[in-house]
Structure 1
Amino acid sequence: MEFGLDKCSTVALKKGKLIESEGINMPNGQTIRCHQPEAYKYLGILQLDNIKHEHVKTVVSKEYTQRVRKILKSKLNGGNTIKAINTWAIPVIRYTAGIINWTQMELDNLDRKTRKLMTIHHSLHPRSDVDRLYLPRRSGGRGLLQVKQAVKEEEHALAEYVKQSEEPALIEVKNQKLLKAQQTKNQYKKTALQTRADSWHNKTLHGKFLDKIDGKADKEKTWLWLTNGTLKKETEGLILAAQEQAIRTKAIQAKIEKSADDPKCRLCKETDETIDHILSCCKKIAQTDYKQRHNYVAQMIHWNLCLKYHLPAVKNWWDHKPAKVVENEHAKILWDFRIQTDKVLEHNTPDITVVEKNKVWIIDVAIPGDSRIEEKQQEKLSRYQDLKIELQRLWQKPVQVVPVVMGTLGAVPKDLSRHLETIDIDKITICQLQKATLLGSARIIRKYITQS
C-alpha cells in the first residue's frame, strides 16, 4: 500500500517487523528521511523489539569489572573490601537476574575475573582455596558473594514470588512454567554453602588447618579476626593462604610440587620446612622474631593492666614500653621479672606478675603452633605451680596462674576467655590479641619465605 508515494520510499510491514527504507518523498517535494530505530531503557534494561541480551551483558560485565577494580585499588581493609564488592559491584549483576539470559560459563568467567583482579592486587593468594573465598566470615571464609550464586539466588527468589502471587498475570506466568525452581532461595543458599564448606573441609592441604584445631580450639572465637575484618586485605589473604598450606615452603616444593630436592628448613637445616615449623618451631629465630611477636602480645596485656590500675600509660598500646616495675597504692606490676624465693626454681620469671593487696596473678604468654594450643596451655599451668606454691607461702596471699595462649595463625583455646576474665581487663579483646599475633606471623612469612 503506497498512498501515491515513490516506490523506493515505500514502508512495508512484514510479519510484524518494520522494513527500513531510504526515505519518504512527500507530494510537496520534501523528503522525510528514515531514522535508524533506537533502543530504549525500561527499568534500566536496554530494549527495542526485544531485550538486548548480548549488549546488556557486555555493558553490565564492564561496569562490574570496573567497580571491582576501583575497590581493590582503594586503601580499604580486608573486611571492608569484601563488603564494598558485595554491596557496590555485585548488585550490578544481580539486578539483571531472571531478565538477562546469563549462561553458566559467562557467570563463571565473571567470578574468575574477580579472583584474578584480587590476586593482581595482592588480596588473594593465587593458590588459595576458592570454596573458602565464598563462605561467610563467621565460618572461616572471606564472605565474598559469588556472582553465579547471587544470580541463582535471585532467580529462585523470583520464582518463589511468582509461585506465591495471586495476581492474574503472574498466575499465568506460573501456569506457563516460565520460571522453574525446585527450591526456595533460602534452601538453595543453604545447600550451596554446605556443599562449599564440605568441599573445603575435605581438601587434603586446604582443610588441614581445620583438622589441626578440631576439638582443641573455640572455632567461633578463632574466626573473630575475620568477622572483625580490620587487617589489610594483603595480610588477610596471606594469613588465609598460610592456614591452607598454599605458601610455597621447601617441604611443599619437594614433596608435593616435586620441583626441589631438599625439604629442610632454609634457616636451621634440621626439620622439614612447613608453615608450622617456620612460625613456631625454628630454633634460629626463637630469640628474635618469635620473641618480638610474643612481646608484642604481652605488652598489649601490660598496657591494659596499667589502665586498670591507673598507672602511667601512653594513649596507644603499640607505643607502650613496659617498665620492669610500676606500682601505686592499688597494685604493683612486674614485667619479665625474676622472682626471688627461698627454694631454687627453674621457672621463676613469668612475663607479667600482678601483685595486689589481697591477691597475686602470674601471667604468661605463649604463641605455639595452632595444633598445640591446648598442650601449651596445660604446660604453662604446670610450669608455674612450684612458683605459685612458694609465693603463697612467702607472701601469704592467694596466687593464680593465668596462661594467655594464642595459635600462630589465630587459633583460640577454649579457656582463653575465662583466663582473660580472671585478670579483669576490659580494654582488651581476643580479636586484638589475634591481630597482634597474626601481624607478627605475617611479618615472619614475608621475611623468610619467598611467595611465588
Structure 2
Amino acid sequence: MNYVPLEIRLGKDCYKFSNVDDAKKMFKKHFKKVFIEQKSEKFNRNLEYGKWRLKCKDEVDSDWIRGDISIKHVRKLFAASEGQTITKCHWKFGSNEFVDRKCRHCGQAVETVYHILNRCEKFKKSLFVSRHNNMGIAILRRVLKKYGFSYVKGKKIYKNNNAEIFFDTLYPLLSQVVASNPDMVIIDKQRRKSCF
C-alpha cells in the first residue's frame, strides 16, 4: 500500500509526513504539549508568586541563585508562601473521619503554614532567628553592593572611604535602644548620615 506525502501547517510551523502513522504520533505529541502549556498557564495565573515574578526584574529573581540556596529550598519556600504545603489542617478537608487539626509541635492552634512560620512556640528560638538572620544577610548584600563592598561570609565590619557598615555586632550608641541592639549600622561618610 502506497502512502501519499502529507504536509500540514499549524501556525508558523509546517510538518511533512510520509505516512499517516507519523502524522498521528506528531499530532498526539503536539496536542499534549499544548494542553500541558495551557493548564500550566492557567494554574500559574492563580498563584501570587507568578504575578509577583512577572512584575519583578531578573535581578530580584537571581538573588536566590547568588545566595547559594538550593532549588529544592526555593520550591519549598514558594509552596509555603502559597499555602500549598501539606499540614494537618489539609487532611481535615476531604475526609469523613475526625482528624485533630491542632499543631503537633505546640498543640495550641490549628496547624497551618502561617502558624508554623510565625506563631509556633517551639520554633521561636530556632526557626524565627534563623529566618531573621538570613533576611539580614540578604539586605546586607544589597547594601554592600550599593557602597562598593563585596560580601565575605562571617565578616561583621566593612570600612572604606565612602562608608562604614557594622552587621550583627555590638555598636556603641549614645542613647539606649529600647527594643534591642541594631542588626545593621550604616555610616555614610559622603552624606554624613547614619542609619540603623
Q: TM-score range by the shorter chain?
A: 0.5 to 0.7
Assess if the C-alpha contact under 8 Å between 1:265 and 1:271 holds in 2. yes
Whether the aligned pair in 2 keeps the contact of 1:327 and 1:333 (CA below 8 Å) is yes
- Percent identity of paired positions between Structure 1 and Structure 2: 19
Q: What does residue 25 of structure 2 align with?
A: 58
Task: Find the counterpart in structure 2 of residue 325 from structure 1.
Answer: 157
Task: Give the AA of the match of 1:134.
Answer: E
Is the alpha carbon distance of 1:324 and 1:46 closer, same or farther for their aligned partners in structure 2, counting shifts above 3 Å? closer
Instruction: Note if contact 2:136-2:183 (Cα within 8 Å) is conserved in structure 1.
Output: yes
Q: CA deviation at 1:303?
A: 3.3
Q: Cα gap change, 1:327/1:260 in structure 2, threshold over 3 Å: closer, same or farther? A: farther
2:159 and 2:75 map into 1 onto residues whose CA distance is 42
In structure 2, the partner of 1:223 is 53
Structural mapping, 1:255-404, within 5 Å: 255=93, 257-258=95-96, 261-311=99-149, 313-314=150-151, 320-341=152-173, 343-357=175-189, 358-362=192-196
* SS of structure 2 residue aligned to 1:223: helix
Are the counterparts in 2 of residues 325 and 335 from structure 1 also a CA contact under 8 Å?
yes
Which structure has more relative contact order (CA 8 Å, sep 6+)? It is 1
Q: How far is the alpha carbon of 1:352 from its aligned partner?
A: 0.7
Q: Distance in 1 between matches of 2:56 and 2:143?
A: 26
Using the TM superposition, give the Cα deviation of residue 273 of structure 1 relative to its aligned residue in structure 2, in angstroms: 0.9
Higher helix share: 1
Distance 1:260 1:226, change over 3 A: farther
1:253 pairs with one of 91, 98, 112: 91
Structure index of larger Rg: 1
> Residues 321 and 248 from structure 1, CA distance in 2 versus in 1: closer, same or farther, beyond 3 angstroms?
same
CA contact (8 A) 1:303 1:322 kept: no
Q: Is the 8 A contact 1:253 1:260 kept in 2?
A: no
CA distance in 1, matches of 2:130, 2:170: 20
2:2 counterpart of 1:37: yes
> Any runs of at least 4 consecutive aligned residues in structure 1 with deviations exceeding 6 A, and if so which?
none
Deviations 1:333-367 (A, max 9, x none): 121234444554322412211013310111xxxxx
Letter in 2 for 1:288: S
Q: Distance in 2 between matches of 1:244 and 1:330?
A: 41
Which SS does the other structure have where 2:124 is aligned? helix
Residue in structure 1 matched with residue 11 of structure 2 by the alignment: none
Alpha carbons 1:302, 1:322 under 8 Å: kept? no
The amino acid of 1:353's aligned partner reads V
Distance change (3 Å), C-alpha of 1:262 and 1:223 = same
Structure holding more strand per residue: 2
Provide closer, same or farther for how the CA distance between residues 284 and 325 of structure 1 changes in structure 2, counting only shifts above 3 A.
same
C-alpha contact (below 8 Å) 2:3/2:18 kept by paired residues: no
CA root-mean-square deviation: 4.0
In structure 2, give the amino acid aligned to 1:324: K
Q: Give the number of aligned pairs.
A: 180
Structure 2 residue matching 1:268: 3-state secondary structure:
coil
SS of the residue 1:333 aligns to: strand
Structure-2 residue corresponding to 1:134: 41
1:240-299: CA deviations, max 9, x gaps?
Answer: 543443322111213554555221222222221101112232232233233223322322
For normalisation by structure 2, the TM-score amounts to 0.65
Query: Residues 255 and 263 of structure 1 are in contact (CA less than 8 Å); yes or no, is this contact kept in structure 2?
Result: no
What runs of 5+ residues in structure 2 fail to find an aligned partner?
A: 9-14, 65-69
Distance 1:290 1:333 in 2: 24
Q: Relative to 1, partners in 2 of residues 1:233 and 1:335: Cα closer, same or farther, differing over 3 Å?
A: closer
Taking the aligned partners of 1:308 and 1:330, their CA distance within structure 2 comes to 10
Taking a change above 3 Å as real, the CA distance of residues 258 and 301 of structure 1, as seen in their structure-2 partners, is same
